[in-house]
Amino acid sequence: MSETVDWGPIRTLARRVPIGEERLALTTAEKALLKRTASEVGISDGEAETALATDEGAVGLLREEVRRIREGSQRLMDALTRMYQHLRKEDPASARKEMRDVLAVEVVPHYRAIAQEQLDEMAGAP
C-alpha cells in the first residue's frame, strides 16, 4: 500500500460529540479533517461538502466516517482470521473466497487495498 492512514484524529473528534448531540461547532481544521477522512472512507467530495454545510450534516458525516472505519476494520480482521485458518488447513480456495467476500461489500479504500493485496498474494496457490 502506498498510503498510510491515521484515523486517530477523527476518533478523537468523535469522542467530543456526545451521543444524541446533533450540533458540532467545527474549526476550519476540523472541517478539513472531516473532508479528508470522507475520501479515505469512500464518501464522495460532493457528499462531504453537502454534509459540512450544516452542523447536523457534519455530525452525521462524522458518525458515518467512524462507522465505516469501525465496521470495515472488524470485517477485515474477521475475514483475515478465517483466511489464515483456511490456509493452515491447506484450503487456498476458501481463503481466497474470504478476501473476495470482503471486496464484494467493503467501501473503505484502505481496507479494500489490504484485501486485494492478500488475494493477489494467494494468486499462485492452487
Q: What is the pTM of this model?
A: 0.88
Cα–Cα dist 102/56, whole Å? 31
What is the structure's pLDDT at 108?
A: 98
**Residue 100 domain flag:** yes
**Residue 126 domain flag:** no
**Residue 74 domain flag:** yes
Give 66's pLDDT tier (boundaries 50, 70, 90).
Answer: very high
**Residue 97 domain flag:** yes
Average pLDDT over residues 77-84: 98
Residue 103 near residue 119, CB atoms below 8 Å: yes
**Residue 3 domain flag:** no
What is the structure's pLDDT at 21?
A: 64
Cα–Cα dist 72/68, whole Å? 6
**Residue 99 domain flag:** yes
Average pLDDT over residues 73-84: 98
**Which range of residues forms the domain containing residue 64?**
8-121
Average pLDDT over residues 90-94: 96
Sorted by sequence, the CB contacts under 8 Å of residue 13 that are 6+ apart come out as 30, 33, 34, 62
| Residue 107, amino acid | V
Average pLDDT over residues 67-96: 97
| Residue 41, amino acid | V
**Residue 73 domain flag:** yes
Give 4's pLDDT tier (boundaries 50, 70, 90).
Answer: confident
Count helices and strands in the chain by DSSP H and E runs:
6, 0
Say whether pLDDT at 67 is over 60: yes
Sorted by sequence, the CB contacts under 8 Å of residue 103 that are 6+ apart come out as 112, 115, 116, 119
**Residue 2 domain flag:** no
Say whether pLDDT at 2 is over 60: no
What is the structure's pLDDT at 10?
A: 93
Q: What percent of the chain has pLDDT over 90?
A: 73
Number of structural domains (the chain) is 1
